Homo-oligomer: A and B are copies of this chain.
Amino acid sequence: MEPRVDVITLAVADLERALVFYRDGLGLATRGIVGTEWKGDDDNAAGTVVFFELAGGLMLALYPDLAKDANISAPPASGAFSLGYLVSSRNEVDALLARAEAAGATLTESPRERPWGIYSGYFRDPDDHLWEVIWNARAG
């Protein structure tokens, strides 16, 4: 694993409220709410999200459906979050999740395609912190 975090995803109960807090309250620039074309269904979380591009290529995401996407139980406004780590192939997603599991992590969600074009899975570290390992097929 390279020493990187690519995405910090914050679970939010009310996306509009969170957007107003970070954009208007703290002054972070954003394109606003995107991904509304992915409505979610029984199998898939919705894709609606807010992104802030941070220094160094880091992304901050506000995401109402993190708990469903990660297959964790978390009440709204729980402070749940995930750290996202990008890799460059499907095999690398599988390999890193396997490595994490071998090291004592728990897989909450086996890797799979998501409607918005990524392949990802989630693990929890021994203290319950959530990581998503992501291959963005569209980025090659």
Contacts and interface: CB of A to CB of B under 8 A. Distances in A.
A24 interface: yes
Interface string A45-63: 0000000111111101000
A105 B58 contact: no
A43 interface: no
Contact of A28 (B3, B12, B24): B3
- Copies of this subunit: 2
A77 interface: yes
Nearest to A72: B79
Nearest to A6: B55
A60 B85 CA distance: 13
Given A1-B27, A3-B54, A11 B100 contact: no
Given A1-B26, A1-B28, A8-B5, A13 B103 contact: no
In the complex, the 3 A-B pairs of residues with the closest C-beta atoms, listed nearest first: A25-B103, A56-B56, A79-B128
Interface of A: 1-5, 8, 10-14, 17-18, 21-22, 24-29, 52-58, 60, 76-81, 83, 99-100, 102-105, 124-130
